[in-house]
Structure 1
Amino acid sequence: MAGTDGRSPWPGTLAVGTALVLGAWLLHDGGRSVLPPSPGAAQAGFGAVSVVPPLGPSAPTRIRIPAAQLDAPVTGLGLDAEGHLEPPPENDRNLAGWYRGAATPGQRGTAILAGHVDTRSGPAVFYGLGALHRGDRVEIARRDGSTAGFQIYAIEVYDKQRFPDARVYGQAADAQLRLITCGGGFSQADGYRGNVVAYAFLTDTVAAKKA
């Protein structure tokens, strides 16, 4: 979602112990006239809490969302020299990124996964995020061989000027997951006007197989 200066505004600060300005990096395919799906008012909601015992830390390796026919590898994302979140490689549209400075999915806290909605070559990994519904399942495979299962309880779209930092990035007392991509309308001058955020809580876990 690049703007006229080559960057697209990725709003807010990520409150996970240290303030982090999220990098403005998700790109758009300027030739497309059809916007990605956006969640309706019926998908809004808040307040779901996981009662499943959280897992220990282990980096995510893959994300699966059956309702979206999404099955993609996950790479770790750090910060660049300016403190912005690094982007997943643009040349791989089927790749999500996990912010390494936050909780790992399934661990107590708020795990953050971000992905391109599209690139100049077409729709990307989180293109269908806005078409999901409350109750849809998200599965995260982890490096230790375990799997964390989540249920989406809200999907909302925010204008980049009114992005609710604390609501999205604030550290939860239970195991929570946020999936973030671009959305909220589009202009040729500024790119996408906002972001789509899916909220999910941990519902089940599958332990790693013992050797």
Structure 2
Amino acid sequence: MRRVGDTAIAAVTAVALGTGALLLVGGGDTGSPPQPSAAQARGGAGQAGRAPATPALPPSPPDRVRIPAIGVDAPLTGLGLTPTGSLDVPPAERKNLAGWYEAGTTPGEKGTAIVAGHVDNAEGPAVFFRLGALEKGGTIEVDRRDGGVAVFTVDAVEVYAAEDFPDEKVYGAALRPELRVITCGGGYSRGTGYQGNVVVFAHLTGSR
């Protein structure tokens, strides 16, 4: 089991997100989603031990996520765990809907907050189709239910094969407010769907 905030997520979460059966199947004839280049990766085990760049915000559920560089402006729904302990996903038919893990850290408070969404569905591209095109230094904004906006700066964008998914790096606890945005990625097979996941690593750099 891996812990996100105060709640454990089974290690099979990465496999479930990467099978294509949960986050996405199909894709139509719109072409493949962009994948991050090696230049967008970062070395080492991440920056979870470093001091926060800006003070953490009090807990507040999020309502919306915006990523201007790739045209994302989507409502957020709460996600729980499946009976097997893996992260649930938003309804596939609602392609402009993302979800956040509501039993864990809320975006902006100290710790690792998790947002996930589909890369496509049977009708074509979905909310995070262009997630792999995001670059270091990009901005992610999260509208919070308390009326504030948490602003995150992208530290890295990486793609992992399902069998090599680094659970601790992605889901592990952080000493500053951090955000992970996850969708399917990597190679694609009609038989098994996407073979891995694209993960964006970001940290809180402002609020308003």
Same fold (TM over 0.5): yes
Match of 1:59 in 2: 61
Asked if 1 retains the 8 angstrom alpha-carbon contact of 2:9 and 2:87, the reply is no
Percent of aligned pairs with the same amino acid: 52
Match of 2:139 in 1: 137
Q: CA deviation at 1:14?
A: 4.0
1:87-126 correspondence runs (5 A):
87-126=89-128
Q: Distance in 2 between matches of 1:89 and 1:14?
A: 24
Asked if 2 retains the 8 angstrom alpha-carbon contact of 1:28 and 1:117, the reply is no
Asked if 1 retains the 8 angstrom alpha-carbon contact of 2:112 and 2:179, the reply is yes
Match of 2:32 in 1: 35
Asked if 2 retains the 8 angstrom alpha-carbon contact of 1:35 and 1:185, the reply is no
Asked if 2 retains the 8 angstrom alpha-carbon contact of 1:30 and 1:188, the reply is no
Q: CA deviation at 1:32?
A: 3.0
Asked if 2 retains the 8 angstrom alpha-carbon contact of 1:134 and 1:155, the reply is yes
- 1:15 aligned to 2:12? no
> Which of structures 1 and 2 has the larger relative contact order (alpha carbons within 8 angstroms, sep 6+)?
2
| Structure 1: unaligned runs, 5 residues or longer | 1-12, 207-211
- What secondary structure is seen at the aligned counterpart in 2 of 1:27? coil
- What secondary structure is seen at the aligned counterpart in 2 of 1:36? coil
Q: Distance in 2 between matches of 1:140 and 1:114?
A: 13
Match of 2:149 in 1: 147
Aligned AA (1:175)? P
Q: Deviations over 1:15-74 (max 9, x none)?
A: 224243424411222533721000000001154453211001101100011101110000
Q: Deviations over 1:107-156 (max 9, x none)?
A: 00000000000001110001010001000000000011111000001000
Q: Distance in 1 between matches of 2:138 and 2:9?
A: 31
Match of 1:190 in 2: 192
Shifted more, 75-84 versus 27-36: the winner is 27-36
- What secondary structure is seen at the aligned counterpart in 1 of 2:3? coil
Q: Distance in 1 between matches of 2:102 and 2:30?
A: 34
After TM superposition, the score normalised by the length of structure 1 is 0.87
Q: CA deviation at 1:79?
A: 1.8
Q: CA deviation at 1:89?
A: 1.4
Q: Distance in 1 between matches of 2:170 and 2:84?
A: 22
Q: Distance in 2 between matches of 1:191 and 1:175?
A: 32
Asked if 1 retains the 8 angstrom alpha-carbon contact of 2:27 and 2:123, the reply is no
| Structure 2: unaligned runs, 5 residues or longer | none
**Which of 9, 22, 26 in structure 1 is aligned with 2:23?**
26
After TM superposition, the score normalised by the length of structure 2 is 0.88
Q: Distance in 2 between matches of 1:27 and 1:69?
A: 20
- Alpha-carbon distance change, 124 to 189 in structure 1, aligned in 2, over 3 angstroms: same
